[in-house]
Structure 1
Amino acid sequence: MAGGVKAAPGQGDGEVRVNAPAGALRGYREDGLQVFKGVPYARPPVGEYRWRPPAPMPIWSGVRDATRFGPACPQPPSRPGSLYAPALPGQHEDCLTLNIWTPEAARRAPVFVYLHGGALNTGGGAEPMLDGAALARRGLVVVTLNYRLAVLGYLAHPALSAESPQGVSGNYGLLDQIAALRWVRDNISAFGGDPDAVTVAGESAGALSVLYLLASPLARGLFHRAVAQSAYLISHPALSRAECGEPPAEEIGERLVHALGARDLDALRALDAHTLTRAAAEAGYAPLGTVDGRVLPRQLLDVFERGEQAPVPVLAGFNSGEVRSLRFLLPPPPADSGAYEAAVRRGYGDLAEDFLRLYPAADGEEGRLAALRDALYGWTADRLGRACAAVGQDAWLYLFDHGYAAASERGLHGFHAAEIPYVFGTAARTTPLWPRIPDREEERRLSRALGDYWAAFAWDGRPAADGQPRWPAYAEHPGGRWLRVAAAPTPVVDPLPGHFALHDTLVRRRRRAGDTPWNWNIGCAAPPLAGTSETP
């Protein structure tokens, strides 16, 4: 077999072995694919390794079984009634593993590395909806992985920084992702993959992670294309100073340790991982990357505005109903339309009329859902398109606006993450509370189209699908070209005229003021806006 993969002697047609630089592995065949699960890419981050950068995994002896998923990172429970509660094969700190689906005849095939979402709090690479088989049958080597989550993955603290030779802390989950990409670079040829054609992709927190990887010097050269589905380009805490209205990340960590009643790091490391993770979530800890000057050199938006991101083509987009399944992000509703308009005028000043024109009080909750959608997800996609165009890189943007009966009946048209089972071809493998996708030809046709577009992008950086419209590059029109995905894909120019420009102006004002985050504080939740006019 190509790529170092061969049938396991005496094991029958169902098993295969690979001799990778990391060590020998035993996987299995499945409908023309070879599958390897639970492959360790770094040392388990337990005991003394908790809150340390991932260490290389020693080459193992013998043949390691790779026929079962590894456990996910310990994580807090999902919100009650969440559509996104994943089905995972247990949880354990020994979680730094990845999974590989590869065509049997693969020879230097493009590699598609997918990062799961879950607000950096939940999820895992074994989620059934992320099964890589359908994409692998398009000629890709597909990789999913676990990385450290929640307090285990993103805690910053002065004592942790003091332990670090670089004087930094936090970002451990991001460092795990970088370690996994290094493992792919060093080992994926043995599975028939091309280490010089790696696409990194993700949705929601996975897409935020893609932004981190685009911005991080430590990830440079480890991937060659990027896919960001429903990314959110928000402000982040800096390590040891207040920035953009965010307290220092180390201070956030100190507050958490005090809230947990731990004496020192040894006491914190002695806590059971599940107890620690749950207690941190109950104390209000919300994981985010840390701007530490090393792993993340500066605010993400500053990186993209300076053109310092990785010089790779980007496919990015958002969904028309992003916040319909995330209503907990909305601020409390105003008492009436008068209260709504008054709150907007207080928060937006001279921008209030533009805001009320786009999101009028008469629209009620629909307007508030649209405003937060556009501020978090739509503006981010458009900003990525403009950032790529500014440095001569291709960008391909989409708006997923597809609905079906089970979703619409629950008010979830085009909801957050709704595109994932279409891309992966896993409509029958969604989570228990997911609105069931009908088994109809029109749905299968759309899934084939999206899978083809994504796979083609992984092949050569240009999304294309047989029998479907040409996907125009963002820079082909001054207003930005997009692909609107409804019943079928359709090229459009700027799907929401004026919406992204308004939020861009708002972010610029907040950045200039320096004391206000740009994230969920939109509409009625917006604090008074500094300044009364835009300046260069």
Structure 2
Amino acid sequence: MSTATAEADLTVHTAEGPVRGRNTGTARVWRGIPYAQPPVGDLRLRLPQRPDPWQEVLDAGRYGPWAPQPLRRVLPGADAKTPMSEDCLTINVTAPPEAGEAPLPVLVFIHGGGFSTGSAAMELVDGARLAAAGNVLFVSMNYRLGALGFLDFRACSTPGRTFDVNVGLADQVAALEWVQRNIAAFGGDPGNVTLFGESAGATAALTLMCVPAADGLFHRTFLQSPAAAAAYGPDLASQWANEYLGLLGAGQDGAAKALAGLDAATLTRAAEELSSRIAPESRPGALSLAPVVDGSFLPLHPLQAFGDGRASSVPMVIGTMDNEGVLFDRLHNILPTSRDRIERMFDQTEPERRDRVIAAYRGYPHKKQAVELGGDAVFWYPSVQAAQAHAAHAPTWSYRFDYAPRAARAVGLGATHGLDLAAVFGNYDAGTGRMLLSMGNRRTARNVGHRFQSALLRFARTGAPGPMWPRYDRTSRRTKIFDRYDRIELDPRTVRRQAWDGYRGYR
């Protein structure tokens, strides 16, 4: 086949215009396709707008720019040549090496990074192996991060300049709308879309289940370590916006000018200061960069929507790592993993409930138990709340990922936050994946990863993760434990769950 013919075979006509991908040998890829207009100039901090159509063939061979984020926190294993820009609203499609005849299931991935870092270009979340292993289409997108995506500046609007809220979440809705318009042209089935993500990506996917504008755009969700309670009402969101403006040195009168006119790097530095220093100390356990319960785009707090049966009734798999908090205590220091922060986290809680929770962590306030408590507060217990609520209205499965390669155990991380990414993507030869296997356990790690990945792929194809994985319900709370040898446990950590029951955090 000639080069010209091969390129023609990789040219796809989308609703906006033609795009040409490339064949990497292991996958067919189309990268950096605009799914919305660049959110710059008058569109900064506004809801995304559908892109203008184009006539010439768009070269879709490279990832689009990373969203603006702190340079020192750019994650490893990423394409260092990919630039950083506010013009970041692009989407990527990865297909198996050979085209088939029947429409393929579609997996849409939302990357994590605390709503402040990350990119679809990270090597660890490359979807080529996933697409080939499952004969599926893999889709990923970049979306606005930090202050440009997840702070509420509506109060700063003026007659000449309007600011919207939840624009980062709205970007994800726009990307899902793009999938509905265009994925059939790539060989995908728009009626079979599985939305999945890890960390902030899973939090976003869970939240989108409660966003009316996203209803019908996806058909099941697979959620890895969501911070399910990380959405806040307008009062707390307004406090964070005011604290952020203070970091910019902008009073209310000059806020609109600062937000519209300052460069992205300045806005990003202030958001980093707010999210990594101020918020963890003043309100431990809350994430200042997060969705806002605004009453319209996001009408209810997600956990309330789940409890009321008003979340999307799609099948859901949800789970966490065995010890979520260790990674943050070691690297990012943003969770309530110390005695001082834990005490402040419970300031708004009845003393009896606080005492009951603390008593469930025998050995507290020693560091190990404090780290476990902080990780449970942000990740594990809210996931339990979401699972038990959703199970009353839709098929739900729960898991815990306990496996940790020898290298992770040797440095004291264990099965902590993010170590399931190499498993689900099959990317143990990527940067972080290579480190995890640097001390051996290759065969075991790959076997565990294969079982985890297979559950996702089976879920995407059939709507259930497998016959050996029973549904979750509020009575038995059957949970799959992924480890060297998988097992089903009934109501894992019963004592801790009962101790946390009734805790509402910052809601």
TM over 0.5: yes
- 1:400 aligned partner, one-letter code: F
Structure 2 match to 1:253:
241
Please give the per-residue CA displacement for 1:4-30, whole angstroms capped at 9, x wherever unaligned.
xxx997254797211222211111123
Q: Does 1:64 align with 2:58?
A: yes
- Which piece of structure 1 moves more, 268-277 or 394-403? 268-277
Q: Identify which of 271, 274, 279 aligns with 1:280.
A: 271
8 Å Cα contact 1:229-1:318 kept in structure 2: yes
8 Å Cα contact 2:156-2:255 kept in structure 1: no
Instruction: Name the CA distance, whole Å, in 2 between partners of 1:296 and 1:46.
Output: 24
**1:368 Cα deviation from its structure 2 partner:** 1.3
SS in 2 for 1:52: coil
Q: Does 1:478 align with 2:483?
A: no
Matches for 1:255-270 after TM superposition, within 5 Å: 255-262=243-250, 263-270=254-261
SS in 1 for 2:21: strand
- Which piece of structure 1 moves more, 355-364 or 448-457? 355-364
Q: Identify which of 319, 322, 331 aligns with 2:321.
A: 319
Q: Identify which of 342, 366, 372 aligns with 2:374.
A: 372
8 Å Cα contact 1:203-1:231 kept in structure 2: yes
Structure 2 match to 1:523:
none
Structure 2 match to 1:101:
94
Q: Identify which of 142, 145, 149 aligns with 1:146.
A: 142
Structure 2 match to 1:199:
194
What TM-score do the two structures reach when normalised by structure 1?
Answer: 0.83
Structure 1 match to 2:42:
48
SS in 2 for 1:234: coil
Structure 2 match to 1:505:
502
SS in 2 for 1:482: strand
**1:500 Cα deviation from its structure 2 partner:** 1.9
Structure 2 match to 1:92:
85
SS in 1 for 2:424: helix
Structure 2 match to 1:3:
none
**1:122 Cα deviation from its structure 2 partner:** 0.3
Q: Tell me the C-alpha RMSD between the 2 structures.
A: 3.0
Matches for 1:203-222 after TM superposition, within 5 Å: 203-222=198-217
Q: Does 1:426 align with 2:417?
A: no
Q: Identify which of 467, 485, 488 aligns with 1:488.
A: 485
8 Å Cα contact 1:14-1:28 kept in structure 2: no
- 1:481 aligned partner, one-letter code: R
Instruction: Name the CA distance, whole Å, in 2 between partners of 1:409 and 1:232.
Output: 27
Structure 2 match to 1:513:
none
Instruction: Name the CA distance, whole Å, in 1 between partners of 2:315 and 2:83.
Output: 36
Matches for 1:371-450 after TM superposition, within 5 Å: 371-391=373-393, 393-431=394-432, 435-436=436-437, 438=440, 440-450=442-452
**1:398 Cα deviation from its structure 2 partner:** 0.6
Please give the per-residue CA displacement for 1:344-377, whole angstroms capped at 9, x wherever unaligned.
9996633456434421236722211222222222
**1:250 Cα deviation from its structure 2 partner:** 3.5
SS in 1 for 2:501: helix
Instruction: Name the CA distance, whole Å, in 1 between partners of 2:318 and 2:483.
Output: 16
Structure 2 match to 1:459:
461
Structure 2 match to 1:238:
233
Q: Identify which of 292, 295, 298 aligns with 1:293.
A: 295
**1:452 Cα deviation from its structure 2 partner:** 0.8
- 1:151 aligned partner, one-letter code: A
Q: Identify which of 15, 18, 38 aligns with 2:12.
A: 18
- Which piece of structure 1 moves more, 286-295 or 312-321? 286-295
SS in 2 for 1:288: coil
**1:446 Cα deviation from its structure 2 partner:** 1.5
SS in 2 for 1:474: coil
**1:416 Cα deviation from its structure 2 partner:** 0.2
SS in 2 for 1:173: helix
**1:125 Cα deviation from its structure 2 partner:** 0.8
Instruction: Name the CA distance, whole Å, in 2 between partners of 1:39 and 1:269.
Output: 26
- 1:416 aligned partner, one-letter code: H
**1:294 Cα deviation from its structure 2 partner:** 1.2
Please give the per-residue CA displacement for 1:234-260, whole angstroms capped at 9, x wherever unaligned.
253323xx3xxxx3x244324422431
Instruction: Name the CA distance, whole Å, in 1 between partners of 2:494 and 2:337.
Output: 27
Q: Per the alignment, do residues 233 and 146 of structure 1 end up closer, same or farther by CA in structure 2, a change over 3 Å counting? A: same
Q: Per the alignment, do residues 74 and 315 of structure 1 end up closer, same or farther by CA in structure 2, a change over 3 Å counting? A: same
SS in 1 for 2:164: coil
Q: Identify which of 107, 117, 127 aligns with 1:132.
A: 127
What TM-score do the two structures reach when normalised by structure 2?
Answer: 0.88
- 1:102 aligned partner, one-letter code: A
**1:271 Cα deviation from its structure 2 partner:** 1.6
8 Å Cα contact 1:155-1:169 kept in structure 2: no
Mark the runs of 5 or more structure 2 residues left unpaired by the alignment: 280-287
- 1:261 aligned partner, one-letter code: G
Structure 2 match to 1:4:
none
8 Å Cα contact 1:110-1:193 kept in structure 2: yes
Q: How many residues align?
A: 485
Please give the per-residue CA displacement for 1:214-268, whole angstroms capped at 9, x wherever unaligned.
11001001000011111112253323xx3xxxx3x24432442243134242343
Instruction: Name the CA distance, whole Å, in 1 between partners of 2:239 and 2:334.
Output: 24
